[in-house]
Structure 1
């Protein structure tokens, strides 16, 4: 059975309001939650960026939902610190927390003042971080000298069972690489053929665990409003790699987005006032084989979306089984 969850967008919503939203999401029938860990928004128009790890403790306490977070260890975060954060949340809320690990974006990592590495070096650095985090969660004392350095680190508070470490990918090549080390795969909505190739690459390379999808969508009472909201909030997020990896400041994204049209945004965001159409889009993702689908309404206000989708969309999707 496919699980439908709520993506909590720290870059668009104040953390207090976002906590209220996730409580409402549970009441509306969403069965899980997730967020991404960013230092800054993608655009000055989005205007927020709360600290995901502080918020996750509150969200796990305020609801009974399982939660995940997308994180990039290695530059802004030392992997031992991330391992400690993972261990603490997992010990406090057993079987309710997972983390997806990726190579990150310069928009978050440039704040350290360190050089932003080439993609192949970021991959190698992440791979070292994964090994460090796994060893620490297993109770080992870890010393490591490489692209990251660790000196006699040990976690004194650990969960009985370590949580899944999920691979975050947007390309077929990265999905295949994640199969070497990940306990599952998460990606974002894209054309069906591309998503199918990603799933096949991950599974054929021996990838295990569940498949998760974050779906960017925009709903409003009419199509014109939905298109306006999506364009106003999300036009800085339409750029494919390497642009989205390498730009550093919200002003850079806003400058790059000055010629982006509502039609451009609609190529990466499911935009419609038609709830039936949203249900069909979500059903098609489940039929591709995704076990968990996280809905991200790209508007800054979440209450109407959560209420309406809980009443009119989620009931249409219950009983849709994934193929994994």
Structure 2
């Protein structure tokens, strides 16, 4: 059975409220957790953007679950700082923290005022950052010149075991590239054929046997109409193309881009159903593809009902 985790959305909730949601999910039987790492929310409607790295220390003390987050070192974050932050969490909470890395979105990274590189350059920068972080975790004194610069950096507080570096990807091309160097993969739920292509590409690129995690955006409510309305209101960017997700640089730009979308467009990027059995079926299919952890993010604001209903009906059904 896959481990069913709870996704903590910093874009939608103040950090204190998100911590209460996490505790509810822990008590209800969710087996893991992950959180977003945004400077801005996708849209003004979402309304929040707490600092993930401050929150993670409190969250890991408040809950015994394993945790991960997705970040994009290289522009908003220097890789040595992310290496230090991750090492501190891994040292305080052994075996419980994993770090996912991706090429990022201008929405968060462009706040530095530096030019936003194209995808090929961002991938090159990401690979350099990963090498820097791994060298620091091994205890080396690191100097590096390339798309990032590091001078005489050394970490003095190191965990017994370095955290896994999980490659965050959306496309088969990125998944294949990450298969050769990442310790595992995390991607987002999409239609079955597209998701299978991402899985196959990761495995064929060198990821065979490595862990695969899935972040599942869903909208579950008391009726189909309510679930659809919540998806369109809370998570409209689910209907945008990947280049828009990476290159639009403000919540206002996302709102303008999402305004042209139909409900059917939003439904291509998020699982919308009031049927708990439908969600069980979708998640069972994910497990069949080989995902060993499924992190559920219900975009509907009634998190207490979602946690309770899924704990009572969905988690036991998947355990069978």
- Which sections of structure 1, spanning at least 5 residues, go unmatched? 320-324
Once the two structures are TM-superposed, the CA of residue 301 in structure 1 deviates from its matched residue by 3.4
Aligned to 1:234: 235
| SS of 1:190 mapped into structure 2 | coil
Counterparts of 1:301 and 1:57 in 2: how far apart (Å)? 25
Aligned to 1:274: 275
TM-score by length of 2: 0.98
Aligned to 1:86: 86
Aligned to 1:69: 69
Counterparts of 2:274 and 2:115 in 1: how far apart (Å)? 44
| SS of 1:73 mapped into structure 2 | coil
Aligned to 1:51: 51
- Which sections of structure 2, spanning at least 5 residues, go unmatched? none
Counterparts of 1:242 and 1:284 in 2: how far apart (Å)? 27
Counterparts of 1:182 and 1:302 in 2: how far apart (Å)? 33
Once the two structures are TM-superposed, the CA of residue 196 in structure 1 deviates from its matched residue by 1.2
In the TM superposition, what are the counterparts of 1:60-209 in structure 2 within 5 Å?
60-207=60-207, 208-209=209-210
In the TM superposition, what are the counterparts of 1:7-46 in structure 2 within 5 Å?
7-46=7-46
Counterparts of 1:299 and 1:138 in 2: how far apart (Å)? 42
| SS of 1:159 mapped into structure 2 | coil
CA contact (8 A) 1:90 1:96 kept: yes
- Answering whether residue 27 of structure 2 is matched by residue 2 of structure 1, we say no
Counterparts of 1:73 and 1:4 in 2: how far apart (Å)? 27
Counterparts of 2:34 and 2:61 in 1: how far apart (Å)? 14
CA contact (8 A) 2:238 2:270 kept: no
Once the two structures are TM-superposed, the CA of residue 195 in structure 1 deviates from its matched residue by 1.4
- Larger mean Cα displacement after TM superposition, 204-213 or 178-187: 204-213
Aligned to 2:316: 315
Q: Deviations over 1:184-225 (max 9, x none)?
A: 000000111111111111111211520000011011111111
CA contact (8 A) 1:74 1:148 kept: yes
Counterparts of 1:147 and 1:301 in 2: how far apart (Å)? 43
Once the two structures are TM-superposed, the CA of residue 237 in structure 1 deviates from its matched residue by 3.1
CA contact (8 A) 2:219 2:298 kept: yes
Aligned residues: 319
> After TM superposition, what 4+ stretches of structure 1 lie above 3 angstroms from structure 2?
none
TM-score by length of 1: 0.97
| SS of 1:206 mapped into structure 2 | helix
CA contact (8 A) 1:46 1:300 kept: no
Counterparts of 2:279 and 2:144 in 1: how far apart (Å)? 47
Counterparts of 1:14 and 1:302 in 2: how far apart (Å)? 13
Counterparts of 1:46 and 1:301 in 2: how far apart (Å)? 14
CA contact (8 A) 1:15 1:50 kept: yes
CA RMSD of aligned residues (A): 0.9
Counterparts of 2:226 and 2:238 in 1: how far apart (Å)? 19
Once the two structures are TM-superposed, the CA of residue 103 in structure 1 deviates from its matched residue by 0.4
Once the two structures are TM-superposed, the CA of residue 300 in structure 1 deviates from its matched residue by 2.9
| SS of 2:300 mapped into structure 1 | coil
Counterparts of 1:55 and 1:27 in 2: how far apart (Å)? 19
